[in-house]
Amino acid sequence: MPAVAQILLLLAALAIPAGDATTDSRDRPPVAGIGKHRARILPSGWICQTESRGPVAFIGLLGIALYMSCWFLGLMPVITVRRLMASGIEALFERGRPTQGERDFRLAADFDAWSPSPCERLAELEFQHWLAAERDQPEVFDRCLAWQQSAIARDPRNPAGYRALGEFYLSKASRGGDSADATAAANAFRRAAGLYPNHAVTQAQLAEALQAAGEPEAARQAATRALELDGINERAGHVDKRLPPARSRTIGEILRQDSN
C-alpha cells in the first residue's frame, strides 16, 4: 500500500497541466473571479487558478510530506525487517551464531510492530532451546509461547500461527506435560482449522491433540476428515498437501483405537 500511494502521488503530480500555466495571458480564455483567485473555462471543463504562491507551496509541501510518510512509515520498515531477517537467518544457519541471529530477530520485531516473522523466528529459537535443555525449563517454554502469541497478534487471520502454537503445546504434552497442554494444543488447532478447514495436516494434528486431551470421539471425527481431505488431495494431484506417512499412521492408530 505505501508503494501504491507513492505511485498515485507521482501520477497526480504529473497530471498537473504545467504547460498551460505558461500560456500567454492574451491567449487565455476569459476568467471570472475575485482578487487573486480565478476560474476559467477550458474545453475539459472548469479549472481554478491562483496567482498567489502560498497555496501552490502548501500543496507541494503536502505532497512531499505524504510521500515521505509513505517511505518512513511503510516502505522503510519492510526493507529494514527483510534485511535484519536475512542477516539473522544467515547468522543462525550459515555461521552458527545463534546469539547474533536472536539479536537481529529482536531488532526486526522492535522495528516493525506489524510483521509476525521476527516473532515466529524468536518463538522457534526458544522452542529449540527448550528441547535441547537437559531438564525441564518452564521459563524458556513460556518465552516461546509469548513470542508465538505476539506473532499471532500481528497476523490473527493466518492459520499457520495457531498451528505452530498447537505444535509447541503438543510437543510439551508428549514430553510428560499434563492434560492442560494437550487441551491447549487442541484449542490452537481448532482455531487453525476454523481459518483453514480444508487443510488435511491441520485436521490430523487436531485429531492427535484431541486424542491426547481425552476426547476420542472428537479425535475420530477430525481423523476421518483428515483422511477424506488427504484422499481429495491425492486424486487432485496435490502432492504438497498430502499427509506425511508418519502422520497417516498416527491417524490410522486413532481410528483403530476407537473401533476397538
Each residue's pLDDT tens digit, 178-224: 899 999 999 999 999 999 999 999 999 999 999 999 999 999 999 99
Higher pLDDT among residues 260 and 228, named by residue:
228
Residue 37 has pLDDT above 80, yes or no: no
Residue whose grid cell is 492574451: 26
Q: Phi and psi dihedrals of 170, rounded to 5? A: -65, -35
pLDDT tens-digit profile of 72-89? Answer: 555 677 788 899 999 999
Question: Please, which pLDDT band fits residue 94 given cuts at 50, 70 and 90?
Answer: confident
User: Quick one: DSSP state of residue 214?
Assistant: T
pLDDT score, position 89: 93
Residue whose grid cell is 504434552: 173
Is the separation of the CB atoms in 152 and 165 below 8 Å?
yes
Query: Which of 133, 208, 101, 112 minimizes the C-alpha distance to 163?
Result: 208
The predicted model scores a pTM of 0.73
Query: Which of 183, 230, 181 minimizes the C-alpha distance to 203?
Result: 230
pLDDT score, position 177: 72
Q: Phi and psi dihedrals of 35, rounded to 5? A: 70, -135
Percent of the chain's residues with pLDDT above 70: 70
Question: Please, which pLDDT band fits residue 149 given cuts at 50, 70 and 90?
Answer: very high
What b-and-e string marks burial along 168-203, b requiring 16 or more CB atoms within 10 Å of the CB? Answer: bbbbbbeeebeeebbbbbbbbbbbbbebeeebbbbb
Residue whose grid cell is 487558478: 49
Average pLDDT, the chain: 83
pLDDT score, position 211: 96
Mean pLDDT within 134-162: 96
Higher pLDDT among residues 40 and 91, named by residue:
91
Question: Please, which pLDDT band fits residue 3 given cuts at 50, 70 and 90?
Answer: low
Dist. CA 204–CA 218, nearest whole Å? 12
Dist. CA 196–CA 108, nearest whole Å? 28
Question: Please, which pLDDT band fits residue 69 given cuts at 50, 70 and 90?
Answer: low
All structural domains of the chain: 1-82 (no CATH), 157-260 (1.25.40.10)
Q: Phi and psi dihedrals of 199, rounded to 5? A: -100, 115
Cell representation of residue 139: 521459563
Q: Phi and psi dihedrals of 238, rounded to 5? A: -85, 80
pLDDT score, position 95: 84
